Amino acid sequence: MLIARLIADHATLESALDTASAALADKGWPVAEATMLDFCGDVLQISMAGGDAAQVRAILSDAFAPSDLLLSAGPIVVPHLLVSDMDSTMIGQECIDELADFAGLKDRIAAITERAMQGELDFESALKERVGLLKDLPETAIQQCLADRIRPMPGAHTLVETLNARGCHTVLVTGGFHSFADPVAEMLGFRRVVGNVLGVTDGRLTGDLAAAIVDSGVKKKTLEQEMERLGKGDHSLAMGDGANDIPMIQAADYGIAYYAKPKARAAADGWIERGDLTSVLKLFDIPEADWVK
């Protein structure tokens, strides 16, 4: 059984469903049931007896675009664990790019960031190169950058605190830096932070990292360790936007790509590309009356 939940344009919902149903039937995967959820009335749930998940997602994507969507091979339940990327997922910026602006290097470093997030560059090498370019930048630039540049994504606080209230363990895991991630986690309500550490000497960045690198493998391992701690029967949700998020997205019970790069979107069970982060709560059928705002 495949179950899809999606949010799309109400004005074209019926015609889009007809288009998707016909395409699915042509593949031999007829829609068994299509209904609007009771608690979140703008969420359409579609059930099929079977089908290839990647092809089903592609059909639904084409029919309902733009949409917020989650596809599951079984009943969709509220997760017991959220592991999320930070930059361009929980906040609207790439911290290292904004920090680079204080050094007059934003365009140069942002180009490296984009290629790394697209999966065109090795993440570790790209990170070391970018951090090296920040050598001698005053540490005070971090606090100024946080205050002036870093803003949460719409719905981020509501998503995290609502899941916390329902007993979900929330972890912020980032290839960025604790200097940014710790304040962001406190602001949004994350219970744990995993990130990189910038080297600092005499109040200036050294151009090096002061601890082991948090890369895609560490992100995946963090999810796996947290799930082992929680135990069998619990469900995990991973969210991110770039290539280094793919392993944890694929390892989670539910992997959601947030306004993501194409490779990350293709690897995920679903995506948010229409609404804000509260769409995740809707896809898990959590009533708005229960949201922590």
Cite the active site residues: 85, 87
Cα-trace Rg, the chain: 20
Q: For residues 267 and 254, give the distance between their C-alpha atoms in angstroms, rounded to a whole number.
A: 11
DSSP designation for 153? P
Question: Quick one: CA dihedral 258, 263, 267, 273, positive or negative?
Answer: positive
What φ, ψ does residue 49 adopt, rounded to 5°? -65, -25
Q: Cβ distance 183 to 211 under 8 Å?
A: no
Q: Cβ distance 275 to 67 under 8 Å?
A: no
Locate 1 and state its tokens: 């059984």
Q: Is 56 helix (H, G, I), strand (E, B) or coil?
A: helix
Q: What is the DSSP string of 138-187?
A: BTHHHHHHHHHT--BPTTHHHHHHHHHHTT-EEEEEEEEEHHHHHHHHHH
196 beta partners: 177
Give the C-alpha distances (Å, rounded to integers) separating 198 from 97, 126, 185, 213.
Answer: 14, 15, 17, 10
Q: Which amino acid is at 61?
A: S
